[in-house]
Every structure is written in structure tokens, then in C-alpha cells.
Amino acid sequence: GEDVEQSLFLSVREGDSSVINCTYTDSSSTYLYWYKQEPGAGLQLLTYIFSNMDMKQDQRLTVLLNKKDKHLSLRIADTQTGDSAIYFCAEKPGAGSYQLTFGKGTKLSVIP
Amino acid sequence: EAGVAQSPRYKIIEKRQSVAFWCNPISGHATLYWYQQILGQGPKLLIQFQNNGVVDDSQLPKDRFSAERLKGVDSTLKIQPAKLEDSAVYLCASSLEGGASTDTQYFGPGTRLTVL
């Protein structure tokens, strides 16, 4: 099965908050990342959180980590049409290879 | 600071033909990655270089895919011969060290390959 799982679609109205969820399986993950991919573009690093933290805030972005449940979320406050994109959750293991394992991505659509 | 550069941006070939992609990482980044992103999926690592040596190529289909990073800077990824299932976006990323958990990967815009 998938190591990192995300819901595939999310639709919100402009100005509302968006919450994108992710679950992962590797309990040794050290860092968890959120990347944004706009159409025809590569992946842009949005934010990341170290596994010994439970929250990180960066302007409109809030990352929450529940390590016990292996659940990660990204909250975007005051969502704008420019936030429409695919958001990928990725985990990095704590030992051995430092490969990133990505989820399939959540497509966020912002309705004006 | 310039980002990761890739070319070409788009490529259309027929099956059984050969194709090559080029990547120029961020200056000073020792580690370079090639990912394959099939439509509707997240990127999957194909190969990771540390300077000009291969760190991990366990998911590279070596019967048809090859990659090199001469002089530890630019890299090329080649597919020979291509199959229909190789249609994907090929992403290059680079990071400063690669061997540390704190290392962050930065991605290029990708090359979209269509195999007919």
C-alpha cells in the first residue's frame, strides 16, 4: 500500500480556510514536507516540520503534526485563487536513505 | 539565486526511440535527483547522485534508463528505447548535501515526455 496518503481533491471558496490532510506510515520519519505544484511547473517547497514539533506557522500556512497518529495537515488561511494547485505531502526517513516519499497529491480548487 | 534548470520542457517521441534530458542544479549543490512523475501520482525517485557518484539507483529501470553526472554538476537522463509507459514528467532536484536529514530538495520545472 501507499506510504503516504492524501485525499485527491479539495474545493474551497476564496477567503475561507483550506485544510489538506496527509497520513504516513514510517514512524522514523524525521522531516515532513509540503510542496506545491502549479500546472506545468515543478514542485515548490512550501514548508516543512521536524518530527519533534507539533505545530509550525509561517504566514498564512499552519502545519500540524500528530506523530502518534502519523497525521499531518496543512492549513491555508484566507485562501486565494492563486493557491489553486496540487499539494504534495512528503516524508523523509530518519535513517538510511534520505529519499523523499511523496503522496499522490491533493488538488485544491479555489472558487472565486 | 538561479533555480534548477531543465531542458527540454516538452518532448514527444515514438516508442522505441531514444530521448535525453538535461539538468543543471543550483550552484554549489552536491546532490542531484531525478524523479519520474506519472500523471495523477507523486514523484518517484529514479536516481540520486552525490557529486558525480551514484548514491541510490534502486528504482531506475536499468535495462532502458541511464543517467550520468560528469564533473559533479550537470546531469543527463537517457531512455533507450522508450516505451509507452515512460510517458511522464521527469523532474530534476538538487540539494546542498543529501546525506543529512535537514537537507532540502529544490525542484526544476520538469520535462514532460509523451511517448506515442
Is A10 an 8 Å CB contact of chain B? no
Is B27 an 8 Å CB contact of chain A? no
pLDDT digits (tens, 9 = 90+) for A75-100: 999 999 999 999 999 988 765 566 78
CA of A33: which chain B residue's CA is closest?
Answer: B104
- Residues of A whose CB is below 8 A from B108: 42
Closest CA relative to residue B40, chosen from A73, A6, A78: A6
The CA–CA distances, whole Å, from A44 to A32, B73, B79 equal 14, 21, 26
pLDDT digits (tens, 9 = 90+) for B2-26: 799 999 999 999 999 999 999 999 9
CA of B17 to nearest chain A CA: how many angstroms apart?
Answer: 24
- Residues of B whose CB is below 8 A from A24: none
Please name every residue paired with B48 in a beta bridge, in sequence order, or none if there are none: B33, B56
For the record, the C-alpha cell of B79 comes out as 531512455
Rg for chain A (alpha carbons), in Å? 13
Low-confidence ranges of chain B (pLDDT < 70): 1, 98-102
pLDDT tens series, chain A, 112 aa: 458 999 999 999 999 999 999 999 877 777 899 999 998 888 999 999 988 889 999 999 999 999 999 999 999 999 999 999 999 999 887 655 667 889 999 999 999 9
A97 vs B6, B56, B100: nearest CB: B56
Chain B contacts in chain A segment 39-78 (CB below 8 A): 40-45, 48
Long-range Cβ contacts of A7-12 (<8 Å, 24+ apart): A7/A106, A8/A104, A8/A105, A8/A106, A8/A107, A9/A106, A9/A107, A9/A109, A10/A106, A10/A107, A10/A108, A10/A109, A11/A108, A11/A109, A11/A110, A11/A111, A12/A79, A12/A108, A12/A109, A12/A110, A12/A111
Does B101 sit within 8 Å of A30, measured CB to CB? Answer: yes
